[in-house]
A and B are shown apart, each in its own frame.
Chain A
Amino acid sequence: MSATAESVQDRKAALKGLGTSRKRVEDARFTQGKGNYVDDIKLPGMLFGDFVRSQHAHARVKSIDTSKAMELPGVVAVLTAADLEPLNLHWMPTLAGDKQMVLADGKVLFQGQEVAFVVAEDRYIAADAVDLVKVDYEELPVLVDPFKAELSDAPILREDIKDETEGAHGARRHPNHIFTWEQGDQAATEAIMKEAPVVAEEMVYYHRTHPCPMETCGSVASMDKVNGKLTLWGTFQAPHVVRTVASLLSGIAEHNIRVVSPDIGGGFGNKVGVYPGYVCSIVASIVTGVPVKWVEDRMENLSATAFARDYHMNGKIAATEDGKILGLWCHTTADHGAFDACADPTKYPAGFMNICTGSYDIPTAYLAVDGIYTNKAPGGVAYRCSFRVTEAAYFIERMIEVLAIKLNMDAAELRAKNFIRKEQFPYQSALGWEYDSGDYHTAWNKALEAVDYKGLRAEQAQQVNDFKAGKTRKLMGIGLCHFTEIVGAGPVKNCDILGMGMFDSCEIRIHPTGSALARLGTISQGQGHATTFAQILATEIGISADEITIEEGDTDTAPYGLGTYGSRSTPVAGAATAMAGRKIRAKAQMIAAYLLEVHDNDIEWEVDRFVVKGAPERFKTMKEIAFASYNQAIPGVEPGLEAVSYYDPPNMTYPFGAYICVMDIDVDTGVSDVRKFYALDDCGTRINPMIIEGQVHGGLTEALAIAMGQEIAYDELGNVKTGTLMDFFIPTSWETPNYQTDFTETPSPHHPIGAKGVGESPNVGGVPAFSNAINDAFRAFGLTHTNMPHDHWRVWKTANDLGLHG
């Protein structure tokens, strides 16, 4: 028996299925520079597009003179809004129900806005021609502060909709107001805020930043006028949705449009939306009849394509004197820039901000979000998070700290006292979500023990004494965070984008010799789908992951899906993969039973084969079954072995984690060093521990960047102050600390394999941990809250304001 048991283990290991730290199959090409990105696509006769962009944040466009540019040899066309208007493509719908100018239509509303599109024989000529287009502007007053948007002297930005009192998300109270979104019980929550023994209040600002993927956005459009077919390669996190949108916008039938996402060099939410460059490359290809490429540069990416965050979150949190939380109130002023181009599910104009009760059992809560137009770039995308979950997690994890200060209580203890308990799951939150599963106390205690939390607090207290005694100029901060994510959008009954339900899909073909091809509706941007989806399938169908090819991103071949963002690939497409695999196995069972001459119910699945119950020597492997399915006539069973599954998730998944950051801060220079960072993640079933660790390291490093310096800053005239990587902080290995990773495993009860998604957790949880460490360092000196980013001068200013510089 032991020999058999060992062989089962060997066979299981050979599959490289769930739980295996399988090396990423993608990396062979990426590490050798053999990837195939949009800018690698070169087609015969291809032209290049480049934008004339506005240098003003708000101005009327009085005239555009393209004649000088057209005279430059090699320039083929210069498109303006006037050229797009007959096609009704001078404006385009946004994913958030607003519309956005493709090219400036009478005015510009942010610095870097697209004004004209130059098409030339090469990108160098195009760049020269951009300088030759003369645009005559009349400058208008600029609005950069959303809190001034509704003052009587505020300029009206969106003249196109200034008289519309109803927007895509209900009533608008002012021309610069986009929507008000309310969740929870306002009256009950406000009553608690009046009556509760303890109420802590804080304005928490999550600054404007940017996903800044290594590859910027771009597209290549090729209109074949002979067969009427448009092919569009682009940096798309949701290629199928792009196809549908392109069809609706252009009037080209959907079967005549092929959208391809080739290798994508990072997305982080930046590549979910539709950008003017995509539209202009399509129009230019239709006009010229040859392929047209558009690829933005880094400055264009930072200043014009989708930003993230910019949420001013005003909060109140009420508790009993011994720290039991009674209620949470939040009013958020959301700066959306010039157009509402958030990429949220239609019914959620502030995304899943209503997960802001976090990991805590808060009986009563109220959330209101006001979306505001300003003279800044549009966006508001989910930068490595599920729709505004980073904002929500940052808000609650700061409010818990602020409450702990008010209560004069240890912040770790306050958290533990209020966690949703294990036995409360599934848990209905006050703001409308049903948390599927969790075991927060176990994770939290493990984290506190791992870092010797009590020892750290003792050391910190000693250091405060030493500081006060003039023995040191350094302070120590302990940043705590227990976050709960909400990912895997989402159930079709309440989640859609432009009407498309947010299901996802997988189609599997088993080849006669027993290897397989699986295609999904998602698209990897670095997540390693070709590695991990093959592992899910390997465990389901008993074929080694090495013999399964994963394909995504070509709408002509892949099944329809809503794409990859919001940590949805594993929860949704991963589930579809498992379900399609189970269909394969169900058919394989019929074939195996026929081959073994027994009844279907007399055989059982064992790793990679069906075995006759009680007769382990009689079996058929999946490979044998696959071959038989193609070469034998099996009564009542169709030839071949294929399956397709479209998966509509019954609920979201709720990954969580416990992060602790220890930071040393030089009070005089404002320089801070991360001494320790411990990250415990619970993402349910772990598919590939190595990829999880890589995701956590990457996400934490982005969180470090955001918390410690990364921002898109504007001056009062609406000029972008941080338009290059000199000023926009991207950490190098030098700035990146060591991370200590850990895990607990609480499978999702409703997901076929119990997986919850992990890619975005470290960004969601990391930002509060870093920020709380900075804030915590100054707690002993009377600080309750200081805003991110915690770069040197702001940390210095915090210390200075507290009188720590003498």
Chain B
Amino acid sequence: MITGNFEYHQPSSLPEAVALLSKLGDDARVIAGGHSLIPSMKLRLAMPEHLIDLQGIGELKNIQISGGEVRIGAMTTQAELIASEALYKSAPIIRETALQIADPQVRYMGTIGGNVANGDPGNDMPALMQCLDANFVLQGPDGERVVKAREFYEAAYFTARDDLEILSEIRFSECSGGFAYGKQKRKIGDYATAAAAVLLTKDGNNCSHASIALTNLADTPLYCEEASAMLQNGGVNDENIAAAVTSAMAQIEPVDDNRGPAEFKKHAASIVLASAIRDAWARA
């Protein structure tokens, strides 16, 4: 449980970090909160020769809300997300989700940027970002580009981020209405057996906006476009909830692991999702 040797770098600005990463290339890894990277380095699954620590870059640690848009700096910790009253007003589902990530000690270190950039299907924020239809801002040697969360994830640990890019910011629109992040896990600190992010906006008895995404049920987070549309077009009732769940379940491809066989996860996922939809609608 001791890492291999590496050089440690702590740039103080984003351009400096991008330049360093361009210079060091494949031999370097960017480290945010370190709660995925450091364990894998201790297991010697990852053996980067250089670590570029973003902790020293103040500009990456902020939450800005203006003109209906939320911008969160990549180095903002889960604890800071939970503590922000302004963020809670603009997107309460963030706090609800962050509170279900690991434990308080981890949340003091773990960042939203690390959580979404790593590409671990077990992480909770990626599905939430897809549910929110968030955009990720990437800074690379050729400047800045923006990628939609719903197009970012390619496979487990493979994302649209180029090796020389750093994910610097997350942007999404303020969301009103009902929300729920439902997660079944074995214990505090565990990844989800199944988890679902749901946003529902009520307009009279109709549903004017619906968005559903799932965590840890495939090798990427899953935005459930068809299921979302079913609720948005047909309204939220028992029949449509069942149809939406059936549609979402057709998308998932869970694998057998210590949390249980795929067959169980499919069933648990359907329960978790149906319950999250009901919770979100009750709050809408």
Contact = CB atoms under 8 A, between A and B. Distances in A.
Interface of A: 123-124, 127-128, 131, 297-299, 668-671, 709, 713, 721-722, 726-727, 729, 731-732, 734-735, 791-794, 796-797, 800, 805
B97 interface: no
Residue among B103, B184, B187, B261 with the most chain A CB within 10 A?
Answer: B187
A796 B268 contact: yes
Contacts of B272: 669
Nearest to B274: A668
A722 B268 contact: no
A670 B258 contact: no
A297 B1 CA distance: 7
B187 A128 contact: no
A669 B186 contact: no
Given A668-B271, A669-B271, A729-B186, A124 B259 contact: no
A563 to B, nearest CB: 29
Contacts of A727: 258
Given A123-B2, A726-B190, A735-B188, 4 more contacts: A128-B5, A726-B191, A732-B188, A796-B267
Contacts of A709: 186-187
Contacts of B267: 668, 796, 800, 805
Residue from B4, B193, B258 having most chain A Cβ neighbours under 10 A? B258
Contacts of A128: 4-5
B150 to A, nearest CB: 28
A26 B101 CA distance: 35
Max chain B Cβ within 10 angstroms of own Cβ: one of A669, A713, A735: A669
Interface in B155-205: 184, 186-191, 193
A792 B1 contact: no
B23 interface: no
B189 A792 contact: no
A729 B4 contact: no
Nearest to B187: A735
Contacts of A800: 264, 267
A356 to B, nearest CB: 31
A800 B265 CA distance: 13
A131 B261 CA distance: 34
Nearest to B103: A732
A128 B3 CA distance: 9
Contacts of B261: 793
A393 B254 CA distance: 38
Chain B interface secondary structure, helix, strand, loop or mixed?
loop
Contacts of B89: none
B44 interface: yes
A131 B4 CA distance: 10
A683 B69 CA distance: 64
B260 interface: yes
A792 B258 contact: no
Given A668-B271, A726-B189, A713 B260 contact: no
Given A128-B5, A793-B264, A796-B267, A722 B258 contact: yes
12 contacts: A298-B1, A299-B1, A670-B264, A713-B258, A722-B258, A726-B189, A727-B258, A732-B188, A734-B187, A792-B186, A792-B193, A793-B264
Contacts of B193: 792-793
B187 A792 contact: no
Contacts of B191: 726
A732 B264 contact: no
Given A127-B2, A721-B258, A732-B189, A792 B271 contact: no
Contacts of A124: 2
Contacts of A127: 2
A791 B257 CA distance: 13
Contacts of A123: 2
Nearest to B190: A726
B204 to A, nearest CB: 31
Contact of B187 (A721, A729, A797): A729
A799 to B, nearest CB: 10
A423 to B, nearest CB: 47
Contact of B264 (A713, A721, A722, A796): A796
A793 B187 contact: no
Contacts of B5: 128
Contacts of A805: 267
Interface string B1-21: 110110000000000000000
B174 to A, nearest CB: 32
Given A128-B4, A729-B186, A792 B260 contact: yes
Contacts of A735: 187-188
B259 to A, nearest CB: 7
B259 A793 contact: yes
Contacts of B2: 123-124, 127
A419 B260 CA distance: 40
A293 to B, nearest CB: 14
A792 B268 contact: yes
A734 B188 contact: yes
Contacts of A729: 186-187
A792 B191 CA distance: 14
Nearest to A50: B2
Nearest to A705: B187
Nearest to A300: B1
A709 B184 CA distance: 15
Contacts of A797: 264
A735 B259 CA distance: 16
Nearest to B4: A128
Nearest to B271: A668
Most buried by B among A791, A793, A796, A797: A793
Interface in B188-234: 188-191, 193
A128 B44 CA distance: 10
A709 B259 CA distance: 10
Contacts of B103: 732
Contacts of B260: 791-794, 796
Nearest to B44: A131
Nearest to B122: A726
B121 to A, nearest CB: 15
Nearest to B265: A793
A721 B103 CA distance: 23
A671 B184 contact: yes
Contacts of A726: 189-191
Contacts of A299: 1
A731 B267 CA distance: 25
Contacts of A131: 4, 44
Contacts of A793: 193, 259-261, 264
Contacts of A796: 260, 264, 267-268
A793 B272 CA distance: 14
A455 B44 CA distance: 56
A610 B215 CA distance: 74
A161 to B, nearest CB: 34
B268 A669 contact: yes
A737 to B, nearest CB: 13
A28 to B, nearest CB: 24
A470 to B, nearest CB: 13
Contacts of A297: 1
A709 B268 CA distance: 17
Interface in B101-135: 103
Nearest to B258: A727
A577 B152 CA distance: 69
Contacts of A671: 184
Nearest to A130: B2
B261 to A, nearest CB: 7
A702 B220 CA distance: 35
B152 to A, nearest CB: 25
A203 B2 CA distance: 43
Contacts of B189: 726, 732
- Smallest CB-CB A-B distances: 4 pairs: A793-B260, A127-B2, A297-B1, A793-B264
Contacts of A791: 186, 260
B254 to A, nearest CB: 11
Contacts of B4: 128, 131
A123 B2 CA distance: 8
